[in-house]
Amino acid sequence: MSSFPHRACLAFLLFTIGVATGMATTPVSDTGLVRFDGKKARFISDRQLQQIIDAAVPAASKRLLIFAQCFGGEFAGSSLFNTANTATTSASAADQEAHYGGYHEKAAKGLKPEAGRTGQTVHDEGVAGRFNAGVGFTEDPQTGGGLGLSGFSLEPITPTSTVKSRHILIYIGKPDRKTRRDPATGNKVPDAQGNDQFVEDVADRDSIISNFSGQPNTTVHSVGGAPNPSDPTVGTDGWDRPGSFDGLAAALLDIKKEFDKAADPSKEQFILFVGDHGDYRTTRSSNTNVPATSRSVVAGDFAVPPLTESAQIALLGDFRNTTAVEFFVDFTGFFSPVEFDPNGDYIPLHMPGDFAIDVTPIGGGITVPLTDFFEEFRDDGSNELGDAPGEGLQFRFAVDEAMWMSWAGQTVEIGVTNNNLFDVEVATVTFSSGPLSRGPHLPDPIFTDGFESGDTSVWSATVP
């Protein structure tokens, strides 16, 4: 087994949903995190999320998963969460951005123990408070899972209650804020003095923590923001763990210890509340060998989905995302597992010039060559790449946003050039919008790009 020093450089956490099989294309979504240290990006798939939850939460325990990030409908509808004891909700549809001051805020406030209250109550209150200010500025909440929302009880825990313990995990990787606006009109809602008010992610965290305060046999774990400089395993500014995969995995390990105490797992509950950013993605299986020092077509007819008006507004209004075309090399079965030190410095396995990618619209259009990439690793937390399915390296090639958007609705050919002295197997190809903040992205002259895109003062890192 080979090894190399490597930093667990988690610039944002991406829950990738629904990698396509065969030659089909499926839009998928992610939730993103920009780190304060500006390190490169890493994402985990829905299968990895499922795996780390399943490792911590007994199958007999009921689960409520609330996905309040942009494009969260992909999460709510994911087949991997369609299990008998899991109920899911989302703030928006698969092709919609979520909005500050909408579904998420009412759902967070409604997530509380109360006689007769269920997951359905929380969802209904979120729906009642959803953003509904017209085309492109509307949330269409979704539900899913194999458990009906009304079957997830939020009864207070007492000596005679059916529910004996409850464990809540809040993940808001990169907390942000936006000016408060009326969900029905999009107009600003000033305070009594006429000053702007703000909607903040930390308020969702604090609402949920306060709602369950004093409940017996109940724990609330918060994951978000930057790591503590003196101890990177803990968070700052009121967060228990930093907003990273390691922080998420550590919080779930803490929760597992609580479930291990349970005499009857069927009477225990797990709740996940996800906020933060979303990434509109379309991923396609390729499974194409690219021989050494050669070019191969890895997707001959990649159908890029058209962009909804909501997605277009999100792309144009958020100046911090970076659109990209990506490919993934799966280590499983092709390479010996590669061990890395999660506390070491990041040392990429590949250098500039090792790979290139090109995109050509079918039926006419110029070929766009892309040569600048960065490398990110996908690991299930074992600190060994290739010891479990779906682990390996993702190569992300940034694309001018106008060019990226021009491919929407077209079918394109994608080629990969391998300048290394060894073959590589391209498992999947992805079009990615980059992590997009919640809306509404409305015209506002006080922002440099003409659109309100959040409180830029809290962002000190650049999204790759």
pLDDT, tens digit (0-9, with 9 covering 90-100), for 220-270 = 999 998 899 999 899 999 999 998 878 888 999 999 999 999 999 999 999
Looking at residue 331, its pLDDT comes to: 80
Q: What is the pTM of this model?
A: 0.85
49 and 151 assigned to the same domain: yes
Question: Does residue 125 share a domain with residue 104?
Answer: yes
Proportion of the chain above pLDDT 90, given as a percent:
58
Same structural domain, 205 and 293: no
Compare 79 and 113 and report the one with higher pLDDT.
113
For residue 76, pLDDT beyond 60: yes
Residue 361 shares a structural domain with residue 405: yes
- Specify if 439 maps to a domain: yes
Say how many domains are in the chain.
2
**Partners of 172 in the β-ladder:** 224
Instruction: Identify the domain boundary among 220, 246, 274.
Output: 274
Same domain, yes or no: 243 and 335: no
Which pLDDT band, with edges at 50, 70 and 90, does 82 fall under?
Answer: very high
Higher pLDDT, 3 or 305: 305
Residues 204 and 286 in one domain: no
- Shared domain for 169 and 248, answered yes or no, is yes
Higher-confidence position of 36 and 216? 216
Q: Higher pLDDT residue, 68 or 26?
A: 68
* Judgement on whether residues 352 and 240 belong to the same structural domain of the protein: no
Residue 30 lies in a domain: no
69 and 176 share a domain? yes
Q: Is residue 16 part of a domain?
A: no
Domain membership of residue 133 (yes or no) is yes
Q: Residue 444 pLDDT > 90, yes or no? A: no
| pLDDT at position 8 | 24
Residues 207 and 321 in one domain: no
pLDDT averaged over the chain?
83
Least confident among 76-85, 155-164, 345-354, 441-450: 441-450
Residue 153 lies in a domain: yes
Structural domain including 299 reads 279-458
Residues 397 and 423 in one domain: yes
Q: Count of CB atoms within 10 A of residue 173's CB?
A: 31
Q: Which residue, 274, 290, 318, sits at the end of a domain?
A: 274
Checking if the pLDDT of 337 tops 70, the result is no
Within a domain: 2 = no
- Average pLDDT on 37-46 reads 49
Same domain, 56 and 106: yes
**pLDDT: is 16 or 337 the higher one?**
337
Give the per-residue pLDDT at 12.
26
Pick the range with the lowest mean pLDDT from 138-142, 240-244, 246-250, 316-320: 316-320
Q: Establish if 5 belongs to a structural domain.
A: no
End of a domain among 245, 274, 303? 274
* pLDDT at residue 456, as a whole number: 33
pLDDT tens-digit map of 399-408: 999 999 999 9
The verdict on residue 21 lying in a domain is: no
